[in-house]
Amino acid sequence: MSGQELWSKVDRYLDDLFVGDDPALDAALEASSAAGLPPIAVAPTQGKLLCLLARLQGAKRILEIGTLGGYSTIWLARALPADGRLITLEAVAKYAEVAKANIARAKLADKVNIKVGQALATLPLLAAEKAGPFDLVFIDADRPNNPAYLEWALQHTRKGSLIVCDNVVRQGQVLDARSEDAGVQGMRRFNELLAAEPRVTATAIQTVGMKGYDGFAVALVTADPST
């Protein structure tokens, strides 16, 4: 059995045990696939980890950058209390439409606000409407912009907030300092900035599973953005 086959089998085993059938999430993936969205949502076990992190955090305000079909959105929004809110940013209008239906089917429409547009254009609008500070920011969009998303997140979180970023390893591509791929450079710069950032304490974890070999970073904001 190849590494990938084994990782996928074990992921399905863990998925069966720890997640199992979940009509709203299963329907979200089916509708996303039927609409032709790429199959790049977080894996079920990762989605549940996002949900657990948001619960541990007691998050009431969550920002997600990169909605796709709303799969990770549903996991994160499920962690919210009745008065909690999640804002999620998506560049592709068609993806946002699919996500909207998936989120409504999961009975989370009253907690989730999808904003369509390039995140770098939408983020200043959020700042203007004083949507923050956010208790948790999940970065999972275009890697070239990850350094900019990190900087924005640091300005719109508070001491005790959590910043999570997906796809920080990409099959080990992260080691290629000379890569001419803007995504690889963005991922490397993001990791370097996060590691050197005095306002957070952070780590990054490699992962294998049905989505291949990748990793995610988690940072706890330890100082207020103004300090």
**Distance, CA of 214 to CA of 43 (rounded, Å):** 12
- Helix, strand, coil share of the chain (percent; to 5): 45, 25, 30
Spatial separation of the C-alpha atoms in residues 64 and 141, rounded to whole Å: 9
Q: Are 105 and 24 contacting, i.e. CB atoms less than 8 angstroms apart?
A: yes
194: CB partners within 8 A, 6+ apart:
150, 163, 165, 200, 202, 204, 217, 219
Answer yes or no whether residue 45 interacts with ligand DHB by CB under 6 A.
Answer: no
- Of 13-21, 35-43, 102-110, 215-223, which segment contacts ligand SAH by CB under 6 A? 35-43
Within 62-101, which residues bind ligand SAH (CB under 6 A)?
66-68, 71-72, 89-92, 95
Give the CA count within 13 Å in the CB-facing half-sphere of 24. Answer: 19
Within residues 114-153, the interface with Mg ion by CB under 5 A covers 140
Site track 150-169 with ligand DHB (rule: CB under 6 A), x = hit: ----------------xx--
Residue 140 as a binder of ligand DHB (CB under 6 A): the answer is: yes
Cβ–Cβ under 8 Å, residues 143 and 187:
yes
Cβ at position 166, least distance to Mg ion in Å: 4
Shortest approach of ligand DHB to residue 44 CB, angstroms?
Answer: 13
Nearest one of 180, 93, 104 to 144, comparing CA atoms: 180
**167 lies in the site for Mg ion, by CB under 5 A:** yes
Token look-up 């992190």 returns 53
DSSP code for 42: P
Binding flag, residue 64, Mg ion (CB under 5 A): no
Asked if 217 is part of the footprint of ligand SAH (rule: CB under 6 A), the reply reads: no
Binding flag, residue 142, ligand DHB (CB under 6 A): no
> For Mg ion, which residue has the nearest CB?
166
Binding residues for Mg ion (CB under 5 A): 140, 166-167
Binding residues for ligand DHB (CB under 6 A): 40, 140, 166-167
Binding residues for ligand SAH (CB under 6 A): 40-42, 66-68, 71-72, 89-92, 95, 118-119, 140-142, 145
